[in-house]
Amino acid sequence: MKSLKPEAILKGLKTKTFGRSLLCLEKVSSTNDVILKLAEEGCSEGTVVLSESQTKGRGRQGRHWTSSEGKSLAFSVLLRPSLKADELPEITLAAAVAVAKTIELFRMRPQIKWPNDLLLGGQKVCGILTEMGPKKDKMPSVVLGIGINLNQSTKDFPKELRQTATSFYRFSGRKIDRVRLFQRLMHHLEETYQWVVERRFSKVLSEWRKRSVTLNQQVKVSQGHHVFHGQVLDLDEKGALLVRNDLGMIERVTSGDVEIMTPKNRKRPS
């Protein structure tokens, strides 16, 4: 399987800054770590580190992220937004919209599970992890790490993930050109990031809502020791999830895990 090369990607890239400075590596601990190092050295906004494999790829809530060499995409983008800390989740939702729009170009209909999991046929095809750079940094930085499953077949997934994760290929039976997809994705990420920095987050919200699998659902929310059930009402203007709990109170959810309750898993311990 051929590794991605910057020359091939840069040839068809239509962005101003995203991916213009691009490092394609074979193996790293985590692309988020590599780009954080580059951020400390002052690299510019839009710099991307992509790697064929990660020994310590990480996901939300301390989970591990597995990618398959030559068959998936794992990369991080360095951003330097002038946003307040409580506005950072806007970037994550904007990235989810960008990934969804890119997948749609390939004739598939992804759904977004709050905050930023992309699903195909109810199974996860992409995960997004946004992390803050060091506070002491003169130019505050945010790392947007994205992992997408593209051309893996069932046997490429660890057994324990086969029920919950999928790839484009597993879902559609079609192989995807990784270079083409990456170029389109850079374009959409740059576009939706602009909506955030130009204070047009309402545009992200409306695009996110159109593709949401979470809105109106019965859910279980887990935030450490705070676990509750409820119904999702909407997103607020900052992208937090508004959930009416079983006591009828509205809780504003900005972190944690949100599990959609199906008739199967809806039975609760009495």
* Tokens matching residue 74: 């794992």
E strands of the chain, at which residues? Answer: 22-28, 48-54, 72-79, 111-113, 117-120, 123-132, 142-149, 218-223, 226-235, 241-245, 250-253, 257-260
Please list every residue from 132 through 151 that binds ligand BTN, using CB under 6 A.
Answer: 145-147
> Which residues does 109 contact at the CB level (< 8 Å), separation at least 6?
none
User: Which of 57, 89, 110, 133 contacts ligand BTN by CB under 6 A?
Assistant: 57
Contact 69, 95 (CB under 8 A): no
Q: Would you count residue 58 as binding ligand BTN (CB under 6 A)?
A: yes
Contact 13, 188 (CB under 8 A): no
Please list every residue from 4 through 33 that binds ligand BTN, using CB under 6 A.
Answer: 30-32
Q: Would you count residue 64 as binding ligand BTN (CB under 6 A)?
A: no
**Cα radius of gyration rounded to whole Å, the chain:** 18
Q: Which is nearer to ligand BTN, 21 or 231 (CB)?
A: 21
Q: How many residues bind ligand BTN (CB under 6 A)?
A: 20
Q: Would you count residue 60 as binding ligand BTN (CB under 6 A)?
A: yes
Cis, bond preceding 140 (omega within 30 deg of 0): no
Q: Would you count residue 65 as binding ligand BTN (CB under 6 A)?
A: yes
Q: Which is nearer to ligand BTN, 58 or 101 (CB)?
A: 58
Q: Would you count residue 123 as binding ligand BTN (CB under 6 A)?
A: no
Q: Would you count residue 74 as binding ligand BTN (CB under 6 A)?
A: yes
User: Which of 16, 63, 174, 252 contacts ligand BTN by CB under 6 A?
Assistant: 63
> Which segments of the chain does DSSP mark as H helices, in order?
6-11, 31-40, 89-105, 168-172, 178-197, 201-210
User: Which of 24, 38, 94, 129 contacts ligand BTN by CB under 6 A?
Assistant: 129
Looking up tokens 């004739």, which residue turns up? 107
Q: Would you count residue 127 as binding ligand BTN (CB under 6 A)?
A: yes
User: Which of 54, 68, 130, 166 contacts ligand BTN by CB under 6 A?
Assistant: 54
Contact 217, 253 (CB under 8 A): no
Site string (209-248) toward ligand BTN, x via CB under 6 A: ----------------------------------------
Binding site residues, ligand BTN, CB under 6 A: 30-32, 54, 57-60, 63, 65, 74-76, 117, 127-129, 145-147
